Amino acid sequence: MQQAFCSRAAPAILDMSRTVKQRLSAVWARPDPILAEAGRAGELLVAKIRLGLAAFLLLIPIIDSVFFPLDKTETVVGFTLTSLTFLLSVIVYLAVSREYIPSWLSFATSCMDVTLVSGGLGLFLFMNEPYTAVNSKVVFEGYFLAIAGTSLRYDKRVCVTAGLLAFSEYLAIVSFTASHWDLNSPIYSPYPYGYFSWPSQVSRLIIMLTASALSLCVVARSQTLLQMATSDALTGLPNRGYVDERFAIELSRARRYEKPLTIAVIDVDRFKALNDTHGHPAGDRVLKRMASILRSSFRQSDTAGRYGGEEFVVILPETDMETAGRKLESLRESMAGTAMLTARGEEIRVTISAGLASYPEDGEGTSELFAAADDRMFQAKKEGRNRVWRTAARTAEVD
């Protein structure tokens, strides 16, 4: 009986393990390039807010030292910490405003924001105010500002990293403080925050994790809405709006880093005749098959989308004309060699015509490059279809 139970339980455990791995992979996956671009704007917004807060905090020890003289050590420590915060904020702002936003920057700045809050709490320990360090009603809330800011990066990995770091740092501060000071000693009377207790600290940690989970949900929902808004219903490929926006992003990146970029415009040959002869369900089947071949033919960094009707577009970053031509020839051969069956069991084969244009040789802007690739696609049709055209030529419209 035990052996039978194990044999039944094993597949369920394996399925559960796969599900957990898939969900973890989804959480740690790179954000969609469109969301990543939105994250760049979010990083700039956070940098501005951080700089403004740092400037305000820098004024506090200055004003205190002039109008409310305190212990010299406290003044020096407070001024040093706020000056460091302001300096880091200025450096980050200058980098982001000049579009220096490498992939690791969001991780670094989010961790910096969390650690600055922890540093503020640690300052109370340095000033021998442990009770304030673990009961602060002002500095502690800075964690939630840092965690909320991660959602503006539109990267689930940043949300997870910053949330876990905040949890770990605060737990370390509380554990260290509780083990080195008697926080309920009469010297801290009248206990303006109440008695120290671990249950209240655990509640803080749980709320912190909840805030991180909410931030993660905001980013996940943004990704879902983006996918719904930018996917072609029939093929599942990105739609025209997504392709246009992605093309602009990739072209901007190509200019910035002086890299080549190639765009391919692809059209299914004699598609109207296919629909008229075999019916629209057969045409839909062809488009779905075309989408499947496109997915398997290009890199993850490439973008293949349905531009409208039987027309498709592929964007190939860091790819010159020669390399893109070989890839498109391989795609053309795959499509020509694929036999499909209609709902009535009839075998059909279709071919494609494609035109290529490369940055910077064929143009500097998106409209100029797309027009060049589109013209060459029509030239491929004019020359007999089932071919890839790479050179400029005068074209005539083909039905």
* Active-site residue identified among 310, 311, 346, 347: 310
Residues 265 and 349 in one domain: yes
* Inside any domain, residue 399: no
Catalytic (active site) residue 258: no
C-alpha distances out from residue 343 to 235, 236, 285, 347, Å: 18, 21, 9, 10
Q: Which among 230, 257, 283 is the end of a domain?
A: 230
In this structure, is residue 286 part of a structural domain?
yes
Domain membership of residue 30 (yes or no) is yes
First to last CA, the chain: 70
* Residues 51 and 90 grouped into a single domain: yes
Which helix (H) or strand (E) is 59 found in, with range? helix 33-67
Paired tokens of 308:
């409208």
**Residue of 386, 355, 360 lying closest to 372 (CA atoms):** 355
Number of other residues whose CB lies within 10 A of the CB of residue 363? 18
Residue 41 to residue 384: CA distance in whole angstroms: 47
* Other CB atoms within 10 A of residue 249 CB: 18
| CA nearest neighbour of 89 among 49, 59, 60 | 49
CB 377 within 8 A of CB 387: no
- Whether the full predicted model's pTM is greater than 0.85, yes or no, is no
Q: Is residue 9 part of a domain?
A: no
User: Which of 131-157 are b and which e, b meaning 16 or more Cβ less than 10 Å from the residue's Cβ?
Assistant: bbbbbbeebbebbbebbebbbbbbbbb
Strand partners, 352: 268
**How many structural domains comprise the chain?**
2
Q: Mark whether 211 and 159 lie in a shared domain.
A: yes
List of E strands, 241-334: 261-268, 303-308, 311-317
How far is it, in rounded angstroms, from Cα 146 to Cα 199?
24
Are 308 and 285 in a shared domain? yes
Q: How far apart are CA 110 and CA 231, in angstroms?
A: 31
Largest CA distance in the chain: 94
Q: Is residue 7 part of a domain?
A: no
> pLDDT tens, position by position, for the chain (399 residues)?
555 545 555 555 555 555 556 566 667 777 877 788 788 888 999 999 999 988 888 887 677 666 665 555 556 666 777 888 899 999 999 999 887 888 899 999 999 999 999 998 998 888 888 988 898 877 898 999 999 999 999 999 999 999 999 999 999 999 999 999 998 888 878 877 778 899 999 999 999 999 999 999 999 998 888 888 889 999 999 999 999 999 999 999 899 889 999 999 999 999 999 999 989 999 999 999 999 999 999 998 899 999 999 999 999 999 999 999 999 999 999 999 988 888 778 888 999 999 999 999 999 999 999 999 999 999 999 999 999 999 875 444 444
Of the candidates 178, 206, 230, which is a domain's last residue? 230
Q: Cα(47)–Cα(57) distance, rounded to whole angstroms?
A: 15
Strands laid side by side in the 303-308 sheet = 303-308, 311-317, 261-268, 352-359, 388-389
Pair (246, 213) in one structural domain: no
Residues 331 and 186 in one domain: no
Token pair of 218 as six digits: 């905001």
Asked whether residue 306 is domain-assigned, the answer is: yes
Looking at 230, 259, 282, the residue that finishes a domain is 230
Angle made by CA atoms 44, 48, 49, in degrees to the nearest 5: 120
Same-domain pairing of 209 and 300 = no
User: Is 72 among the domain residues?
Assistant: yes
For position 285, which CATH number holds?
Answer: 3.30.70.270
Spatial CB neighbours of 341, under 8 Å, sequence gap ≥ 6: 347, 348
Helix (H/G/I), strand (E/B), else coil: 352: strand
Q: Annotate 212-231 with b (16+ C-beta within 10 A) or e (fewer).
A: beebbebbeebbeebeeebb
Tokens 């989804």, residue?
26
What is the CA angle 33-235-281, rounded to 5?
170
Domain range for 201 is 26-230
